[in-house]
Amino acid sequence: MTESDAQSHSTADMRSIASHDLSPNNFDLIRLVAAGQVALFHGLTHMAPSSPDEVAFGGLELIPGVPVFFFVSGFLISRAFEQSRGIAVYARNRFLRLYPALFVCVILSTVMVAGLGFFSTISWTWIELAGWLAAQLTFLQFYNPEMLRTFGVGALNGSLWTISVEIQFYLFIPVLYAGLARLRDSRSRSLLLVVLIVCFIGINRWYIGNLRGGEAEIFSKLLGVSLAPWLYMFLMGVLMQWHLDKVRALVAGKFLGWVVIYIAACLVSEFVLDAPAGNSIGPFLYLVLIMVILSAAYSDPVLSERALRRNDISYGLYIWHMPIINALLWLGWTRGWLSVVLALGLSVLLAVLSWFCIERPALRRKKRSLYGH
């Protein structure tokens, strides 16, 4: 048996775990809400008055965009890998989803910074600029050189650290499935996945609780942009995808009920356990959030189709909002809500252009899966 045959065989074995159909669902709409949360949170953080409304911030953190993205990614990417015709097709499809829009965003953001005259105010070299561009266009998007620390908030597009984590997720999936394929029954595979989730919950809690600032600052930053603290969120998506038929029975048509349960859990976590939501969300609260996400996805599963017509601007909104915020800050636009609304409006406009001009044409070049998706 050749290596490619072995890959196809192991993928076919894993496909038997989840023979269900994920569609229709509202994940495009969920990702848009998550991207909007991140963009609005950053807008309020960096452009709002000096004393931002704590209630507004607290409300935004109830649906933390980054943890939502990581769960949805695990849910959808695991299924995409199961349906791919081998690793080469999987890698090509992931590249087309991520990089075309990212390339354009990084290049145009750099041109924007130059056009605003920023480079004339600092000391810089072409080597520094080339190194930063190389990092942004590969897999080290978290790298932020000293030359950019006086522009806007000090990082041209700090949100892109999650792209580095996402790429690590993409690379991890084939390794995970190769290991799980050695187990011959789905129960053993699910049990092993649960064990991995518990182990990485421990790493997440250790990171959140003990590795913030001080002597561990460099190590903390490097760990924070690795997949380790966030992998359990991604693996929860994989696990829920495998057992969607059972989970869907618990969540479909029960969205409002799960929202009420989640709000109650948030209140207990915030005021009793002193463990608020946000990117530092605890694992038990996160589990309830996952049920809210899945309920939103499958309670009225054609809502996203009706509202968005299969147009997905969430990625564009996510990658464009911080360059826009930084540009407005550089221009002196710090006028509270007016600046926030302007930043969001421009970000949505660029996201729409990104989708129709770059992302959708690129996605049409994806190789179809074994099931035609």
The amino acid that residue 319 corresponds to is I
134 close to 13: Cβ distance less than 8 angstroms: no
**pLDDT, averaged across the chain:** 90
**277 pLDDT more than 90:** no
Hunting for tokens 């949505």 — which residue is that?
348
50 band by pLDDT with thresholds 50, 70 and 90? low
The DSSP result for 131-180, as a single string, is HHHHHHTTT-TT---GGGTTSTTS-TTGGGHHHHHHHHHHHHHHHHHHHH
The most confident of the ranges 16-25, 42-51, 233-242, 363-372 is 233-242
Hunting for tokens 């054609």 — which residue is that?
302
366 band by pLDDT with thresholds 50, 70 and 90? confident
51's CB contacts (< 8 A; 6+ apart) are none
**249 pLDDT more than 50:** yes
Closest CA to 315 of 99, 144, 112: 99
3-state secondary structure 18-55: CCCCCCCCCHHHHHHHHHHHHHHHHHHHHHCCCCCCHH
The answer, as to whether pTM is greater than 0.85, is yes
Buried b / exposed e over 128-150, threshold 16 CB at 10 Å, is ebeebeebbeeebbbbbeebbee
235 close to 200: Cβ distance less than 8 angstroms: yes
Closest CA to 321 of 142, 158, 161: 158
Query: Average of pLDDT values for 262-283?
Result: 90
pLDDT at residue 5, as a whole number: 47
d(CA 372, CA 183): 27
**161 pLDDT more than 70:** yes
pLDDT at residue 61, as a whole number: 84
d(CA 153, CA 155): 6
Lowest mean pLDDT: which of 1-10, 119-128, 176-185, 291-300? 1-10
